[in-house]
Structure 1
Amino acid sequence: MLALSHYNSSASPLLPLLSNDSAGKVEAQVAVEELSQLGNFTLPQPTTSGVIVVILSMTLGIISNIVALFILVSAYYRQRRRTKATFLLFATSLVVTDFIGHLIPGALVLRLYLSGGVDPADFNSSDKMCQFLGGSMVFFGLCPLFMGCAMAAERCLGVTRPLLHSSLVTKTRTKMCLSVIWLAALCVALLPCFQLGSYTYQEPGTWCFINVLSDTGEVDVAFVVLFSGLGLTSLAVAFVCNTISGLTLVLARLRRKPGSHHSAKSHDIEMVVQLVGIMVTSCICWSPLLILGLMSAIRSYTGSIGEHLSNYTTLMVMGVRLATWNQILDPWVYILLRRTVLRKIYLIAKCQAGLRGNMLGRWEPSSFQSSEKNDVNHV
Structure 2
Amino acid sequence: MLALSHYNSSSSPLLPPLGNDSGGKAEARVAVEGWSQQGNFTFVEPTTSGVIVVILSMTLGIISNIVALFILVNAYALQQRRSKATFLLFATSLVITDFIGHLVPGALVLRLYLSGGVSPEDFDSSDGMCQFLGGSMVFFGLCPLFLGCAMAAERCLGVTKPLLHSSLVTKTRVKICLAAVWLAALSVALLPCFQLGSYTFQDPGTWCFINVLSDTEGVDVAFVVLFSGLGLTSLAVALVCNTVSGVTLVLARLRRQPGSHHSTKSHDIEMVVQLVGIMVTSCICWSPLLIFGLMSVIHSYTETIGDNLSNYKTLLVMGVRLATWNQILDPWVYILLRRTVLRKIYLIAKCQAGLRGTKLGRWEPTSFHSSEKKQVDQV
Shift of 1:45: 1.7
Q: Please say if 1:9 is aligned against 2:11.
A: yes
* CA RMSD in angstroms, aligned pairs only: 2.4
1:49 shift after superposition: 1.7
Deviating beyond 4 angstroms after TM superposition, the runs of 4 or more aligned structure 1 residues are: 10-13, 17-20, 27-33, 40-43, 358-361
Match of 1:332 in 2: 332
Give the drift of 1:41: 6.0
CA apart distance, 1:46: 2.5
- Structure 2 gap segments, 5+ residues each: 16-22, 362-379
Query: In the alignment, which residue of structure 2 is the partner of 1:236?
Result: 236
2:309 corresponds in structure 1 to 309
> Which residues of 2 match residues 215-230 of structure 1 at below 5 A?
215-230=215-230
**In the alignment, does 2:60 pair up with 1:60?**
yes
Match of 2:279 in 1: 279
**Residue-by-residue CA offset, 1:142-198 (whole Å, 9 max, x unaligned):** 000000000000000000000000000000000000000000000000000000000
TM-score, normalisation: structure 1: 0.88
Cα separation, partners in 2 of 1:18 and 1:60, compared to 1, 3 Å? farther
- The DSSP-based 3-state class of the residue aligned with 1:3 is helix
Q: Which has the higher contact order (CA 8 A, sep 6+)?
A: 2
Q: How many angstroms apart in 1 are the aligned matches of 2:189 and 2:253? A: 43
Retained in 2: the 8 A contact 1:155–1:245?
A: yes
After TM superposition, list the pairs within 5 Å mapping 1:158-307 onto structure 2. Answer: 158-307=158-307
| Equivalent AA in structure 2 for residue 53 of structure 1 | V
In structure 1, what residue type is equivalent to 2:120?
Answer: P
TM-score, with normalisation over the residues of structure 2? Answer: 0.88
Q: What amino acid is the match of 1:312?
A: Y
Distance 1:339-1:46 versus aligned 2 partners, 3 A rule? same
The 5 A counterparts of 1:26-175 are 32-33=36-37, 35-36=38-39, 42-175=42-175
CA distance in 2: counterparts of 1:78 and 1:43, whole angstroms: 52
The structure having more radius of gyration, on CA atoms, is: 1
User: Once the 2 structures are TM-superposed, how far is the Cα of residue 44 of structure 1 from its aligned partner?
Assistant: 3.8
Question: Residues 102-153 of structure 1, C-alpha deviation per residue, up to 9 Å, x if partnerless?
Answer: 0000000000000001101233533000000000000000000000000000
Matched pairs, number: 352
| TM-aligned CA distance change 1:213 to 1:350, over 3 Å | same
Q: Is the 8 A contact 1:6 1:46 kept in 2?
A: no
Aligned partner letter, 1:341: V
Over 3 Å counting, the alpha-carbon distance change for 1:233 and 1:356 in structure 2 is farther
Would the aligned equivalents of 1:18 and 1:121 in 2 still touch at CA under 8 Å?
no
Helix, strand or coil at the partner of 2:304: coil
Match runs of 1:346-361 below 5 Å: 346-353=346-353, 355-358=355-358
- The 1:254–1:308 alpha-carbon spacing in structure 2 relative to 1, beyond 3 Å, is same
Amino acid corresponding to residue 107 of structure 2 in structure 1? A
Counterpart AA for 1:116: G
Alignment-mate amino acid for residue 7 of structure 2:
H
**Contact (CA 8 Å) 1:18, 1:28: kept in 2 or not?**
no
Give 1:77's aligned amino acid: A
Q: Structure 1 residues 83, 214: CA separation in 2 closer, same or farther (over 3 Å shift)?
A: same
Change (3 A) 1:31 1:153: closer
1:35-64 CA deviation, whole Å, 9 max, x = no partner?
34xxx6655423222211110000000000
Q: Deviations over 1:300-337 (max 9, x none)?
A: 00000111111111000000000000000000000000
